[in-house]
Amino acid sequence: MTATIGEAAAASGVSAKMIRHYEAIGLIPGPPRSEAGYRHYDGPAIHSLRFIRRARDLGFSLEEVGRLLALWRDRNRASAEVKAVALQHIAELEAKAEALHAMAATLRHLAAHCHGDERPDCPILEDMERGQAAGVSLPGR
């Protein structure tokens, strides 16, 4: 039994556009096509799409998803390799969460010191005019 791209999208939770993108970047192989050129996805392909969807829901990058897919498909893998990928991702998520917390604290402080009245002076805009405060940037920006 095979599924069209629309059926595969519905069954996996991955949009047809993203399925085509994953094929284009080589994350998943292109499926067999009918004589009319329609893609046909089998059960294992849909299972892979579900795997990708879950990994993306957990915030893994496409590069990390590719590595996890390779490990998942390799039945001789060491679970230590998978754990290392997960632990690295956890560290990145925690760093981002810490950076977001610091940004919120900075904005909370600035907002508390803004009079919010008819006067034009505003510590929020003054801070932005001065430039980035030390230690309050989101990684990757």
Tell me the CATH number at 35.
Answer: 1.10.1660.10
The model's pTM: 0.80
Residues 105-133 pLDDT 10s: 999 999 999 998 998 989 999 999 998 65
- Together in a domain, 49 and 20: yes
Find, among 86, 21, 71, the residue nearest to 49 by Cα. Answer: 21
- Together in a domain, 38 and 64: yes
Rounded to whole angstroms, how far apart are CA atoms 85 and 42?
Answer: 28
- Together in a domain, 14 and 49: yes
Considering 77, 101, 126, which residue would you say is the last residue of a domain? Answer: 77
Residues 68, 55: contact at Cβ < 8 Å?
yes
- Together in a domain, 67 and 107: no
Considering 77, 105, 124, which residue would you say is the last residue of a domain? Answer: 77
At residue 132, the pLDDT reads 64
Contacts of 85 (CB under 8 A, 6+ apart): 64, 67, 68, 71
- Together in a domain, 73 and 12: yes
**For 25-48, what is the HEC assignment?**
CCCCCCCCECCCCCECECHHHHHH
Considering 77, 110, 132, which residue would you say is the last residue of a domain? Answer: 77
Residue 22 sits in which domain range? 1-77
At residue 11, the pLDDT reads 97
What are 7's two structure tokens? 């059926």
Residues 26-51 pLDDT 10s: 999 999 998 999 999 999 999 999 99
Domain count along the chain = 2
pLDDT at position 136 over 90: no
Burial class of residue 45, CB neighbours in 10 A (0-12, 13-18, 19+): buried
Rounded to whole angstroms, how far apart are CA atoms 8 and 42?
Answer: 9
- Together in a domain, 62 and 103: no
- Together in a domain, 17 and 73: yes
- Together in a domain, 32 and 97: no
pLDDT at position 25 over 90: yes
Residues 47-104 pLDDT 10s: 999 999 999 999 999 999 999 999 999 999 999 999 999 999 999 999 999 999 999 9
